[in-house]
Structure 1
Amino acid sequence: MALGAVSRLRLRPPKGRAADAALAWGVFVPVAVGSLRSLVGEREESWSATILGWTLIVAACAALYLCRRRPVVVAAFVLAATAAYYLVSVYDGPLMVAFVVTLYVVAAKGHLQAAIALAALTVIATGIGTLAGNHDVNGVAVFMLTGWLVGVVALGWVRHNRLALARETEERAAGEERLRIARELHDVVGHHLSLINVQAAAALRRLHKDPAKGARSAEEALGAIKDTSRDSLRELRATLGVLRQVDEMAPIAPTAGLNRLDELVASARLAGLAVRVRCSGEREQLPTEVDLAAYRIVQESLTNVNRHAHATAVTVGIHRGARHVTVEITDNGHGPAVADRRTPGSGIRGMRERAHALGGELTAGPGPKGGFTVRGRIPYPNGARSLS
C-alpha cells in the first residue's frame, strides 16, 4: 500500500513553471536527437550554417517555456525560427514538432483564429517552397502537412471547449452551493432573530403601558428570548458545522424537520400568535431533503407572519400524501403591500427555490377569506417515501 501511494505521488504531472520547463525539454530532447546527424558523419554544410541551425533549434525549443503564457507570440516566433532553420540547414531535422506543439497550445487556449492563421501561413509557405523547386517536399507532403495541422488545431479546440465546459460546470455548482448556504443561513438566523425582535418589542410595550403588571410579561418575554437565541445559536453552529465538514463526522445537532414543528409553534405562540396545526395523511418518516424543505417553508412563513402580516392567528396544515407532502400556512392578517406582492422578498423567493429544487411548487398570495396563504407541494424522490 505504501509503495502504491509513493508511485501515485511520483506520477503526478508537474504544474506551473515546472510544467513549462517539462514542455520545453520534452520537445528539445527528441528534436536534438533527430538533428544529431548534422554534427556527426560526413559534412554536407559549413560549420557556420550548422551552428546557426542549432541556435535556431535551441531558441525555438526554449521559447516553449513561455508558450502557455504567451501562446500566439511564441507560436509566431517558433514558426519563424523553424522556417529560418529549414532555409539555412540542408539537414531535414524534426524542428517542425516544436511548431506543431505551439499550434496545439494556441488552439487549446482559445485563440482559434490565430491558430488557423498560423496553420494556413505554414501551408502556404510550404507550398510556395515546393513550387519554387524544393524537391524535399512534394504535393503529397503538403497535403499530408495540411491534414496534420488541421487535426492539431481541431484537437486543441476540443481541449479548450472541454476545459471551458468543466469551468462552467464548476462555477454553476459553486453558485448553487453559495445560494444553498445563503438560503440556509437566512432561514436559520432570520427566523429566530425575527422572533427575538417581536418578543422584545412586545415586552417594551407592556412595560411602558403598565410597569407594575408588565414586569411579569417582560420576564416571560426575556425567558423566551433566551430560549430562542439558544436555539438560533444551536442551529447556526449545526449549519456551519455541516459546511465545514470534510469527513464523515456527524453534525453537532439533529437535522431540522417536521418532527421539530412543535418548537416552531411554541416560538410563534410566545411572540403572540394563536397557532393551530392540522396534520393529515400517513405519518411515515419523510426523506431528509423533503422533510427539511417542508420545515423551512413553515419556518419562513411563520417568520413572515410575525414581521409583516399584523396577524393574530395562523393555521399550519400538513398533509402527507402517497407521492408528495403539502404544507399550507394561512394567517388572518392584512397581507403584504401591493408592491410587495409584485416583488416578493428573498423569503418567498427562497421558499420557491427550495420547492423547485426538489421538483415541487410553491404559491404565495392573499387568501380567499383575507390574510395571506403560502402553499407548497413537494414530491417524494421517485414517487415514494423513505421508510427508514
Structure 2
Amino acid sequence: MDVKAMTRAGWRWLAPPELWTRRRTALEAVVAVVMGLLAAGIEELLGSGDWYPAVVGVAAAALSLLRRRLPVAVLAVTGALTPVVGGFLLLLILVGWSAGRLIAGPGRTLVAFTVSYALFVGASLLDGMARQAPMTMVLLTTLYYLATTVMPGLASRYWIQRRTLLHALQDRNAQLLRERAMVEGQARLRERQRIAQDMHDSLGHQLALISVHTGALEVDRALTDRQREAVGVLREASVNAMRELREVVGILRDGIEAPAAPDDGSGQARRGTAGIDALVDAARAAGNDVELERSGEPRPLAPAADHAAYRIVQEALTNAYKHAPGAAIAVELRYEPDSLVVEVVNAAGGAAPEDVVSGGQGLTGLHERARLVGGMVHAGPVDGAGFRVAAVLPYGVPGAVAPPLVDAVDDFGQQARALRAAEGAGSAAPAGAPGSVPGGVPQGGVPGGAFPGAYQGGYPGPYPGSWPDVAPPVRGTSGVAVGCGIAAAVGLVLLVVAGFGMFFLVGAMSEGMITRTQYEKIKIGADEQEVRDRLPKGETIATFGLDGLGPEEPAGADCLVLLSTAESEDFDSEPVFRFCFKDGKLIEKKAYEVKR
C-alpha cells in the first residue's frame, strides 16, 4: 500500500465521511490550528526553548483532531500532560467539553474523567512536590480541574442530552399528528361513503323518476308548444341534476374531482366565464327576462377566479328567479385593468312562494369563494327595489384552487334549485325588461363603500381543516443557554470553595511570615522560649520546603525558617529569615533569599 492510500485510509478512520461533512472538516481544521498556535504561544511566554513550543503546538493540534475519534484516550493524555506542559491549559478545556458529549454512558464518562483527574493530580504532585505541601497541591489542582474540565464536560453533556430529547419529542409529535390525520381521514372517508350511498339511493331514484315523467310529458300531443317547451326545460334540468349528482357521489367516495366536460351542445354549461352565456340562455328558457352585457377588453383569469365568476353568476341568477319571480335581471361582466367586476342585479318581482327551498348558505359560499381567490363580494338591496350581487375578482392569484367537493355540491345545489324554479314557471312570459337597471356599479371602478371591508387573506392551506404533515418545531430555551446556566451554578460553587481556600491560604501565610522590623528586634543569645513566643510557629504551607535551601545550619541546632513580608527584586526568589536555637538559646539568625 502506497503512502497516499495509507494517508487516505488514516483520514477516513479519523474523520468518517458519514459523520464529517465538509463544513465540519473545515471547522475542525481551524480549531486544530488555533489550538496549536495557542499552545505554542503559551510555551513561548513561559520561556521554553526554541524547538519546544513548536513540538507542543503540533501535539496540541494532533490531540484536537483526535478528541472526537478517541475522546477517552485524549482526555487521559491531556490530563496527564497539562501539569507538565503549560501550553495544554486551553486544550484541556476543549477536550473536557468534547469528552462530556462524546463519551457514551454515564458510567463510562465518570470513569474517564476520574482517570484523567487522577493523572492530572499525580502529575501535579510529581512536578511540584518539592515546592508545595501535598494537601495544598491536591486542593489547588482539584479546583483547577473542576473549573477547566469537569464544568465544560457537564455543560456539554447536558446540552447534547437536552437536544436529543427535543429531537425525540419532535419526532414523536410528528408521528402523533400523522396518526391523528390518518384516523381522521379514515373516519372522514367512511362518513363520505355513507353520505354518497344515501344520496345515490334516495336522490338518484327521485331524479330518475322526474326525468322519466318529464320525458313522457314532452311527447304528449295534448300539450301546447309552450307547455312542451317548459316540460323540456324540466327534463333538461333533471338530466343535469343527475349528472351533478354522479359527480358529487364520485367525489364523496374517492375525493377526486372529475374533469369538467366542455360545452357539447347538451345544455351543460362550461364552468367559467365562457359558460355564463349558457347560464343566461337556460334562465331565459325557464321564462326569465335576463340581459347579459360585457364591457372592456376580455382578459384571461386564473382558473380558480374564472370558476368563481361562473359560480357567482349562477348563484345570483338562481336567487333572483327564486326570491323575485318574474323580475328583470341584468348581468354585467366588466373587465377592468386589474380585475374583473361581475354584477347581477334584479328588479323587484312578484312575491316568492311560501315553500321556496333555501339553504341560506348561497351568499355565504360566494363570499368564501371570492376570498379564496383574493377577491370580494357584496350583496344587498339596491335603491328603490331589487337586489344586487357584485364581485371583484383579480385576474391571477398563483396557486389558488377551488375546493373540488364544494364545487360539486354547488353544482348539484344549483341544478336542484333550477329544477325547483322551472317547476313553478308559468306559460306567460314576464313583461319586457327595462333598458337599464338602477343601482349598477359605475364604469371605471368599484364605488366607494360598495364593498365594505377589505380582503384580509385566505386560508393558510388549500382547504380549511387540513392537518399538517409534519409537526411544528419545538421552541423553548436554548440548550446552550441552559447548559451554560448549569456551568455557571457549578462555577459559583467552585468560587465559594475557592474563597474558603484563599481565606485558608491567607491565614496560613500570616502564620509563616514576619516583617524586617520583627527580625531586627530579635537579638542573638535571647532565651529560646521567649523568642518562639514572639515569632509565628512557621508550620504552614507557606514555609513548606524552605528547610535546607539556605546556608548550612549550625551543627546540632534546631532552626525556624520564616518568610519575609518584603518582596524580592528577583521574581524567582523569596526573602526568608532563619533562627537557630541550641541549648535553649538563640545562637544564630540569618536573612537570605531562596529559589523556589
TM-score tier by shorter-chain length is 0.3 to 0.5
- Bigger fraction of residues in helix: 1
Tell me: higher relative CO, structure 1 or 2? Use CA pairs within 8 A at least 6 residues apart.
2
Rg larger in structure: 2
TM-score w.r.t. length of structure 2: 0.30
TM-score w.r.t. length of structure 1: 0.44
